[in-house]
A = this chain, B = another copy of it.
Amino acid sequence: MIISIIGAGNMARGIGTRVLSGGHSLRFHDRNPGKAEELAASLSEAMSGADVQASDAEGAAAADVVVLALPYPAGREVAASLGAALSGKVVVDISNPVDFSTFDSLVVPPGTSAAEEIAAAVPDAHVVKAFNTTFAGPLASGEVAGRPLDVFIAGDDDAARETVAAVVTSAGLRPLDVGPLRRARELEAFQFLHMASQERLGLGWSSGIALLP
């Protein structure tokens, strides 16, 4: 598949590394084209033979799967600006809408989620929540405590969830399909707790949420 990632930060690098290890083609897009080019060059060098390039917005929207690797609400704004270009596309929201000023709550109101707000902004896209509980660090290897990372997947379109699950599996991770997009509320809530507890629990942003066994 051709996967595009919008954004060129740590999460873009982590997910991009996994996607390339799964044999997919990868396009990075960033509002700062230099950052996307730099990240593409870095991964191309690290993974010989990988098909990874920077792309303009149009090229990114033309991919099979479009990953919004941006903070919320920037991801929602970018999705809305792409608009019709995302019709029928699988759009992956990875965001955690944490109120970083207090680190004590989310910036989306109770009873919804960043994923649902993004879906409302691009109603003709198939929005899937995934990768919001995986930190960038463990994504580099795809493992935590010797186990493939668990990737929770929620979305209202069955085929879109299955597509994302296939990408996740090919990337050496474990997909956990938890059903409708509104389950993103619980995924965002728990990852907020996970993030808010890092210092208290001495975890160092290298931990992973898992369902055992």
Contact = CB atoms under 8 A, between A and B. Distances in A.
Contact of A207 (B147, B178, B187, B212): B212
Interface in A128-166: 144-145, 147
A211 B201 contact: yes
Q: How many copies does the complex hold?
A: 2
A29 to B, nearest CB: 31
B197 A193 contact: no
Given A185-B189, A192-B186, A212-B145, A179 B200 contact: yes
Interface residues of A, number: 34
Interface in A95-145: 104, 109-111, 144-145
Nearest to A109: B110
Contact of A200 (B104, B178, B185, B192): B178
Interface of A: 104, 109-111, 144-145, 147, 176-179, 182-183, 185-187, 189-190, 192-194, 196-197, 200-201, 203, 206-213
